[in-house]
A and B are shown apart, each in its own frame.
Chain A
Amino acid sequence: MAFPAAPPPALPDRHGGALRVEATKCAEGCAACVPVCPTQAITRTPGTPVALDLGKCIFCAACVEACPTKAITQTDNYPMAVRRREDLLLGKPGEEELRLAAALDEKLKKLFGRSLRLRQVSAGGCNACEADVNVLGTIGWDLSRFGIQFVASPRHADGLLITGCVSRNMELALKKTYAAVPSPKIVIAVGACAIAGGPFVGHSQVLNGAASVVPVDLFVPGCPPHPLTILDGLLRLLGRLD
């Protein structure tokens, strides 16, 4: 695969990319999108503009279908990774779309930019994000050509890649694994579950995302994010897309 040196492989035509929210288009008093969202990602209190949290979004597009004025639309944009959690909050003027990740700072870019070893932790995941991370290691995507590899031990790693909503039963294992990674280290949260709990948000058995346990440097939305979205996120973080 030539990407990123050439355009990426075509995504399926029914695949939807990032959502876009133009709150100025909302009809007066309308909140049609709020109750249809499975993960309660949308809020609209009377008198305030609509707000959509793309970190909670599982990209079912029920809100897009429900919206009578096309205030919420779905783009074809596959890049979706961000550095800060708040960069996934859509709705305010100037924040119609997510704010894409900037690269790591100079020091970390120097350390990890050409050689990044990650330890993956599945903490309450459903195995889809895991599968699409695995697929990045296959021929074609070939993650190792960027110097990115998954290692068997956190002690050999530069950071963690976390999937899953962080079930209570994985809290200790995740903490121990993070502690076992030598500093400096980074954490990447992949998928709606790892960002904010996904379809299981609010369950008493889950902690609603990786950031509840460890500091997170990169959030990749999706359910699961397409391998292209994950790869784009990783490359963006390492400053390899310029």
Chain B
Amino acid sequence: MNAPREFLLLSNGTSVPWADVPEWPVVEFVAATAAELERGGRLCAWFGVPENSGTRLVAVIAFDSENTLAVGRSLPVAKGYPSLTSLHPQAHLFEREVWEQHGLVPEGHPWLKPVRRQNGGYPAVGEFFKVEGGEIHEVAVGPVHAGIIEPGHFRFQCNGEDVLHLEIALGYQHRGVEEALAGGPHRATMSQMETVAGDTTIGHATAYATILESLAGSEAPLRAQWLRAIALELERLANHTGDLGALANDVAFLPTASACGKIRGDFLNLTALLCGNRFGRGLVRPGGCKHDLETERAAQLLAKLRVALTEVDEAAECLWESNSVRARFEFTGTVSAKQAAEIGLVGVAARASGLVRDVRFDHPAGWHRFAPVPVVVWPEGDVLARARVRWLEIERSAKFIEEQLAAPAEEEIFADTGLPAGDTLAVALVEGWRGEICHVALTDSAGKFRRYKIVDASFHNWIGLELAMRGQAISDFPICNKSFNLSYCGFDL
């Protein structure tokens, strides 16, 4: 036989002809993927592409330390295949999703349940992991839960106050985004990309725009890439500030809670300064940006940014200096580096468990190829670590914006992209404020979307919250949840 096939390497934000993606019979494909994960790869996406009477499996893998991605696919398969999860837990949810979307059974999967739908029922209905014992009680929270927040269902197995196990059932926000993309882009596609996770508009819109630009064999003008990078950091600033406030609120530390609530609005207004919308809707478009940041506007942005940064500085300082806050945050909700690596955690939560992974650094695309951002890591893995990473990222993001404003890219802010190439696969990763966003598009022969896969950081990370709650008091659930602050709608799609 010939030499063993290898996964095809590609960079973030590029595309390859579908025919060039190496293929294996499914059993060998699972083994080959497992081997890549074994030697340091991380699963960014694992999904199905219907073909004839079967489904092909596709794996997109990241080799962070080698700054490259890799892609491979299986031959079409009809019924099932040996589960990857039993070898690599980070595949668990992807395989459940493939089963739900395409009917392929991952044989040997330890917990095969739907991801977003309950086959006609509701996510809270169905089997949940149960701990047996006369003194065990079960607590169910959601979908509608206490605050102004998206819906999800949390099922705790408790012994008194202690949580032995948490299982989260999502899918309540499922709006059918991926299905609607078939045959696209359609006229609603851009606005759907902006609202798939509405607090991460810039993140997802940038990934989508990059995909279309890559499929057309082009890039957005550098000035647009520059502005997108600034907008991405403004999004990070607003959300991290809000999160620090929410964490403070959940331990009844009102000075920081009140201040951050207001300052978050100030950061949202900076995004609105760019495009009129506090969440960045209408800014990023395939081909560039719809609005420009002229010199005078940039000066206003800088002045307001500095004021907001000083204020959040003061608000956060109270937080770190309060013993009562530290007593609540420290050693609570710990996820070890080993666990984090095993489950494929990304973003803030991963870096707070000591994993050095950040798409801006490992897989730079767009402006990040010219202006790297240092990776913020805090190794303890507890609520305090996740709060500290946010705080340090606030500082880094503000500094990054200042540096970019001082050295703007010249030229145009927008250039028409060409038409997407046919039978081509494109991958775009963006470090959204929660973590890695991955979009994968496969076009048909006419250049329309044959399959579009969206993986929000939350898809990787919800299990992190489940692990963090083991052995914690149930009354610490709010701060554990807020310390992750994952997207429900970004997961549900």
Contacts and interface: CB of A to CB of B under 8 A. Distances in A.
Contacts of A177: 144
Interface stretch (A23-31, A93-101, A105-113, A118-126): A118-126
Nearest to A121: B144
A39 B281 CA distance: 15
A173 B144 contact: yes
Contact of A122 (B150, B199, B282): B150
A177 B151 CA distance: 12
A36 interface: yes
B284 interface: no
Contact of B265 (A121, A133, A135): A135
A159 B175 CA distance: 25
A200 B175 contact: yes
Given A15-B272, A122-B149, A170-B151, A128 B199 contact: yes
A196 B286 CA distance: 27
B177 to A, nearest CB: 8
Nearest to A204: B176
Interface in B243-282: 258-259, 261-262, 264-265, 268-269, 272-279, 281-282
A169 B190 CA distance: 24
A125 B198 contact: yes
A139 B188 contact: no
A205 B176 contact: yes
Contact of B191 (A14, A60, A122, A123): A60
A76 to B, nearest CB: 11
Contacts of A138: 258, 261-262, 264-265
Contact of B276 (A12, A37, A135): A12
Interface residues of A, number: 59
Contacts of B149: 122, 130
A38 interface: yes
A139 B264 CA distance: 11
Contacts of A75: none
A195 to B, nearest CB: 14
A224 B279 contact: yes
Given A60-B282, A134-B148, A152-B146, A126 B273 contact: no
B450 to A, nearest CB: 19
A151 to B, nearest CB: 9
A170 B175 contact: no
Interface string B176-199: 110110000001101110111111
A216 to B, nearest CB: 18
Interface string A164-175: 110111101100
A35 interface: yes
Contacts of A224: 198, 278-279
A169 B148 contact: no
Contacts of B146: 152
B191 A58 contact: yes
Interface stretch (B50-58, B166-174, B327-335): B166-174
Contact of B192 (A15, A60, A199, A204): A199
B123 interface: yes
Given A35-B187, A124-B172, 19 more contacts: A12-B276, A14-B273, A38-B187, A121-B144, A126-B198, A126-B199, A127-B198, A129-B198, A130-B148, A130-B150, A132-B278, A133-B148, A135-B265, A138-B261, A169-B116, A173-B122, A199-B191, A203-B179, A205-B175
Closest 8 pairs (CB-CB, A-B): A126-B198, A14-B276, A138-B261, A205-B176, A128-B198, A12-B272, A199-B191, A126-B195
27 contacts: A12-B269, A12-B272, A15-B277, A37-B187, A60-B282, A123-B151, A123-B172, A124-B489, A125-B489, A126-B489, A131-B242, A131-B268, A134-B147, A138-B261, A140-B265, A150-B148, A154-B144, A168-B174, A169-B116, A170-B143, A200-B177, A200-B192, A201-B188, A203-B180, A205-B174, A223-B191, A224-B278
Interface of B: 116-117, 122-123, 143-144, 146-151, 171-177, 179-180, 187-188, 190-192, 194-199, 201, 242, 258-259, 261-262, 264-265, 268-269, 272-279, 281-282, 291, 487-489, 492
